[in-house]
Amino acid sequence: MPSARSWRAYPQTYRLEASRCSGCQKTFFPPRQVCNACSGREFETFRMGYGGTVVTHTVIRTPGDQFQGEAPFAVGIIAMDDGPKMTTQIVDVPLEEIRIGMKVKLEFRRMYAEGHDGVIEYGHKAVPLRE
Amino acid sequence: MRDVAVIGVGMQKWGEIWTKSLREIFVESALLAMDDAGIDKLEAMYVGSMSPGLFAAQEHIGSLLADYLGQAPIPATRVESACASGGLAFRMACMDVASGMHDIVLAGGVEKMTDISGGEATFALSTASDMKWEGTCGVTFPGLYAMMAVAHMEKFGTTREQLAQVAVKNHANGSLNARAQFPTKITAEQVINSVKVADPLNILDCSPITDGAAAVIVVPADMVKNFQQPGVKVTGTGHATDTIALHDRDDLTVIDSARLAGEQAYKMAGKTPQDIDLCEVHDCFTIAEIMVTEALGFCELGGGGPAVAAGHTALGGKIPVNTSGGLKSKGHPVGATGVGQVIEVVEQLRGQSGQRQVKDAKVGMTQNMGGSGGSSVVHILEVM
Ligand SMILES: [Zn+2]
């Protein structure tokens, strides 16, 4: 069985559900209860688009226990076209070709095995956007 | 508020201490601090510890350590702000004494990190990041700082060689410190050719996993004449928070919590960066020292790399940084680190630092940081 910790985040994990502050239009992923720009408490929920840009990146060569056997793999911070930034793995590209400013899109992939039962968790990873 | 001073310090050599438990290493350092001050009774204590539960399967350590130090039933508080727990415990002790609540207060820190495997320790440390939105994609702490390094290199032209120079300098300083975990000099070539951890950071860019404890005694400044050691006054304190998820910050090339905590401490002490004679900063990774020296105003933004390469932050430079060896060489028992920084500055201001003594040091500073910069605690200390 998936844990409550993972299923209650399904709207964000599976549908990229984000929120936009009704007061100042700042966008948040995951959604928040209070806007950290204007202290507003009213938001509208929206589904984030898949496109974004790499703002920084690294190659993890010494991973934590959960990711043993997968290294080396690339991780980056992606500025989503809809505003929020998020940390994701960057895949389907040679590690040395990843650059700041590179356009990417999110795809749904296997992430890791959660908890002692080893339930497979899925989530989004970034792949290069090819013209 | 009352003025506050430090009149006792204590720490043993840090490292892999397999023969002693968490409570034993803490009590040893606390007793050294109490003996240094010439006291055997405390009125309260604050202990910084990031995660005794994950590292040593023991919570509730405020009471445990007060008891084993022979001080129960005094109020004892564990303080947690990830790797800034020790600096924050010191700030809590200063605020307690400043408020008039107590006169003789111990600020300590402890972490017992080597009783579990390296992988388990990596996991425990990673809980200082946003576990749901950073941890689940496999990014580690070296990975988060590596991403700051990549952004800093892109924006300011900081080089791989400049990062290495931080480690070279801090190990040179640490080689003069008998309490350092790795008191060995290293070369830039060794750093650049060491095992890759998270590009561009290698193993010799990273602080180690360490067992250690540290403690200081804080009293009202007008009581220092009652004690055997010269008092060192705490004239400025600052504490600021930021998003713990790195990706939620607007600018990845500035550590804002360090900048803001520094501004608070400078304002309270009536000092500027030019007044500081030495500074202990949180060099958990080489890039962190570069970014913090910028955030505290010792150089302009982007100037941290050139400053270390030019020797400005070395012993004998304009502003010696991490004379103790820093986290890099002295070790990083996370909860104890911030208190260890205070001890280095107190000993420097007392003129007790031997071969690494900064000449005529009158004003010192500490900067202790949690996670990827989600919290920072800064103190300014001065001779009385
Ligand atoms: Zn808003």
pLDDT digits (tens, 9 = 90+) for B41-73: 999 999 999 999 999 999 999 999 999 999 999
Q: Tell me what the mean pLDDT of segment B320-328 comes to.
A: 98
CATH number for A50-131 (one of 3.40.350.10, 3.40.50.10300, 2.40.50.840, 3.20.20.140): it is 2.40.50.840
The two tokens of residue A106 are: 């999110």
Q: What secondary structure letter does DSSP report for B230?
A: P
Whether the CB-CB separation of B290 and B162 falls below 8 Å is answered with: yes
Digit-coded pLDDT (tens) for B260-294: 999 999 999 999 999 999 999 999 999 999 999 99
Q: Estimate to the nearest angstrom the gap between the alpha carbon of B4 and the chain centroid.
A: 20
Instruction: Give residues with Cβ within 8 angstroms of A90, minimum separation 6.
Output: A54, A57, A74, A75, A76, A98, A104, A125, A126, A127, A128
Interchain CB distance below 8 Å, B119 and A70: no
Across the interface, whether the CB atoms of A77 and B120 are under 8 A apart is answered no
Minimum-distance CB partner of B198 among A59, A85, A111:
A59
Q: Residue A66 pLDDT > 90, yes or no?
A: no
Count CB-CB contacts under 10 A for residue A127: 18
Q: Is the Cβ pair A64, B119 closer than 8 Å?
A: yes
Catalytic residue ranges of B = 83, 332
Under an 8 A CB cutoff, do A9 and B154 touch? no
Q: What is the predicted pLDDT for the residue at B369?
A: 98
- Per-residue pLDDT band for A13 (boundaries 50, 70, 90) equals confident
**Domain spans, chain B:** 4-117+210-232, 130-208+233-383
Check whether A67 has a pLDDT greater than 90: no
> How many Å apart are CA B83 and CA B377, to the nearest integer?
10
Q: Give the pLDDT score at A11.
A: 84
**Alpha carbon separation from B223 to A67, B62, B371 (Å, rounded):** 54, 26, 36
Cross-strand pairs, B206: B285
Q: Which residues contact B156 (CB under 8 A, 6 or more apart)?
A: B253, B301, B302, B305
Which runs of E-coded beta strand occur in chain A? 17-21, 27-28, 43-47, 51-60, 73-80, 85-90, 103-114, 119-128
The pTM of the full predicted model, rounded to 2 decimals, is 0.97
Q: Which residues of B touch A86 (CB under 8 A)?
A: 133, 247
In words, the CATH class of domain B4-117+210-232 is alpha beta
Contact between residue B246 and residue A77 where contact means Cβ atoms under 8 Å apart: yes
What residue ranges do the domains of chain A occupy?
7-47, 50-131
Identify which of A85, A22, A92, A25 has the alpha carbon closest to the alpha carbon of residue A56. A85
| pLDDT classification of B173: cutoffs 50, 70, 90 | very high
Confidence of residue A114 (pLDDT cuts 50, 70, 90): low
Instruction: Please state, in angstroms and rounded to a whole number, the distance separating the CA atoms of residues B139 and A109.
Output: 16
Confidence of residue A115 (pLDDT cuts 50, 70, 90): low
CB contacts of A66 in chain B (<8 Å) are: 123, 138
How far apart CA B249 and CA A37 sit, in angstroms, is 12
Indicate if the pLDDT at residue B330 is higher than 60: yes
Beta strands B232-241 and B211-220 are unpaired
B180-194 burial: b if 16+ Cβ within 10 Å, else e:
bbbbeebebeebbeb
- Provide mean pLDDT across the span A89-113: 93
Tokens 């280095």 locate to B344
Q: What's the pLDDT tens digit per position in B228-255?
A: 999 999 999 999 999 999 999 999 999 9
Q: How far is CA B9 from CA B37, B61, B277, B351, in A?
A: 8, 21, 20, 14
Mutate to test the interface with A, among B195, B199, B203 (most CBs of A within 10 A): B199
Helix (H, G, I), strand (E, B) or coil at B210: coil
Please provide the size of chain A in residues.
Answer: 131
Name the residue facing A87 among B134, B146, B196 (closest C-beta). B134
CATH 2.40.50.100, applies to B130-208+233-383: no
pLDDT greater than 60 at residue A116: no
Q: Is B251 on the interface with A (CB under 8 A)?
A: no
Give the C-alpha distances (Å, rounded to integers) separating B230 from A17, B41, B43, B87. Answer: 59, 19, 21, 22
The yes-or-no verdict on residue A111 having pLDDT over 90 is no
